[in-house]
Every structure is written in C-alpha cells, then in structure tokens.
Amino acid sequence: MLAGIEIVCFAASYAVSLVLEISRLFFRSGIRGAIMVGFAGAGLAAHSLFLASRAYEAVDADQTPLSSAFDWYLLAAWVLAATYLYLAFYHPRTAIGLFVLPLVLGLVLIAALWADLQPFPVDRASQWWGAVHGLLLLLGTVAVMIGFAAGMMYLVHAFRLKRKRPPLRGLELPSLEWLDRVNSRAIVISVLMLCAGHLAGVILNLVNQGRAVDELPWSDPVVVSSAATVVWLLLAACFSLLYKPARQGRKVAYLTVASFVFLVFSLASGLVLPTEHRASAAPEAGASP
C-alpha cells in the first residue's frame, strides 16, 4: 500500500506539471513556469526517494537492488523526468513538457499496472553481463523516447511554418535546427545503446545456457521483438548514413517516430505475450506465485 501511495505522489506531481504545460495554450502567467518546475522537481525528488527505498529494501532482503521489470520502467521514467526538468529549467519558454511528460507518465503507469515486481534471482541479476544488459537497454530506451519527443516537436513546428500559420499562443517550440540536432543524435545514441544492450543480452543468455540456469529460448517473443527493434535501428542508421537528405529535416524526424513505434512493440511484447523472460524471474518452488 505504501509503495502505491508513493507512486501516486510523484505521478501526481508530474501530472500537475503536464496540466500546467497544457495551460500555456489557454492563458499567460508570470509564475506558472516556477510552479511547473517546482512540481516537476518535487516529483523527481519523491521518485528518487521511492527508488532509493526500493534499493534499500532489496539489499536488506539480500537481493540485487532495482533488478525487476517494475524498477526498470521506473528508472527509465526517472531519467526522462530528469531530462525534462533540465530542459524546462534552461528553456522555460518552450513547451517541451507537452511531449516529454506524457512519456514519463506512461512509463510510470506501465510500472504500476503491468510490470513484474519480482526481482531476478541473485545468481542471474548479480552477473556483470546482466547489469550491462539492463543499463544499456535503459539508456537506449530513453534515447529513443527523447528522439520521439523531439521528432514530434519538429513535425509540428515544420507543419506550422510550411503553412505560414501564426504562432500558437503558449506553444513555443525549440528551433528546427536544435530539434534537428537532437533527432540525429538520438538515433545514433539509441542505435549504439540498444545494439550493445542486445549483444550483452545474447552473451548473458549464452553464459546462462552454459551454466544450464535461467536459459531463454532464442524464439522467445521478447528476444524476437528486441532483435526486430535492433534491426530497424541499424537500417535507420544506415539509411541516414548513405542517404544524406535523411540526416536532417522531416525525414530524420520520421525515423525517430518510427523507432519509437518499434520500441513500443518490443516493450509491449514483454508485457502481454507469453514469455520465459518473466518466468525466469519467478520465485523458487514453494514460494507464493
């Protein structure tokens, strides 16, 4: 119950910040920016305390801290929320939160409703390759989401400029040049992180198969969907490298949006499809299901 209340606390803070971001579209306010950053900062502080508490409880129970799918989604949300807070503080006039905060709340919602709370067994989670695998996938996922937000902002901004629409009150976005740089860098970083993370996962599975413990079939839906995401990212990176116009403008924005769609497909497969990726993290026989 306490964990649920704490999740509600920082999720509510992020939600208030999002509502304040939306209010930009309807009226002006001199103090809204400070209140918005204040709620986001309070949410991030509560979020940090919640993760610290989870880590302490895991160590106290002789488990590897923050090693469950539940913790992974909350860590991804934390990194994304910290990125938003940084951008909101240094670019207070831009409506970045309209595109980033829904992603933060979506990750928190997935963690609260669907993600598995059970930590991976100690003999698996404590392996070096397992830690590398999770960290790289975390960073790659956040990079894809930042690229998606920047891509959506670019497409909205370019659409209005192309049709010579007057600026919409409260919807001030970063320049197209800045968004273009973020899109390009997000593709490169996400490719590097997710490919390296997937490779670490392959090595981890080979190690587990050699030890005959926590083996994951190569045909598992999580393995197949994550491999498909990696293949897409590699194709997108090669396309950008070989086709110069795809390195900038709307084309790179479309690539980041498509990468996000593949990421959602990969994450959803781990939540809704029957997979041994979750089963391998189940309690030992005799424990409650």
Q: pLDDT tens digits, the chain, 289 residues: what are they? A: 344 458 999 999 999 999 999 999 888 888 999 999 999 999 999 999 999 999 888 888 777 788 888 999 999 999 999 999 999 988 888 999 999 999 999 999 999 999 988 876 655 544 666 778 889 999 999 999 999 999 999 999 888 888 777 766 778 889 899 999 998 889 889 989 999 998 888 887 787 776 666 667 777 888 888 888 889 888 887 877 776 665 567 888 888 999 999 999 888 887 877 766 654 444 333 333 3
β strands within 193-239, DSSP E: none
Phi, psi of 255 (to 5 degrees): -65, -40
Coil/strand/helix, residue 152:
helix
42 and 77 together in one domain? yes
Q: At what angle do helices 176-211 and 249-272 cross, to 10 degrees?
A: 30
Non-local (6+) Cβ contacts of 27 within 8 A are: 170
143 and 12 together in one domain? no
> Which of 238, 231, 236 has its CA nearest to residue 256?
236
59 and 88 together in one domain? yes
135 and 96 together in one domain? no
33 and 58 together in one domain? yes
Domain that holds residue 14: 1-110
| Measured distance CA(124)–CA(81) in Å, rounded | 29
> Given 60, 80, 110, which residue is the final one in a domain?
110
In a domain, 70, yes or no: yes
CATH of residue 245: 1.20.120
190 and 94 together in one domain? no
> Which of 157, 175, 176, 150 has its CA nearest to residue 259?
150
Total-model pTM? 0.85
Identify the DSSP state of 167.
Answer: P
Q: With left for phi above 0 and alpha for psi between -120 and 50, is residue 64 left, alpha or beta?
A: beta
265 and 231 together in one domain? yes
| Measured distance CA(216)–CA(222) in Å, rounded | 10
> 245 and 254 in contact (C-beta within 8 Å)?
no
| Measured distance CA(187)–CA(213) in Å, rounded | 35
The answer to whether the Cα torsion of 49, 132, 103, 73 is positive or negative is negative
133 and 103 together in one domain? no
| Measured distance CA(123)–CA(213) in Å, rounded | 9
Identify the DSSP state of 244.
Answer: G
> 6 and 70 in contact (C-beta within 8 Å)?
no
- Give residue for tokens 């479309």: 254
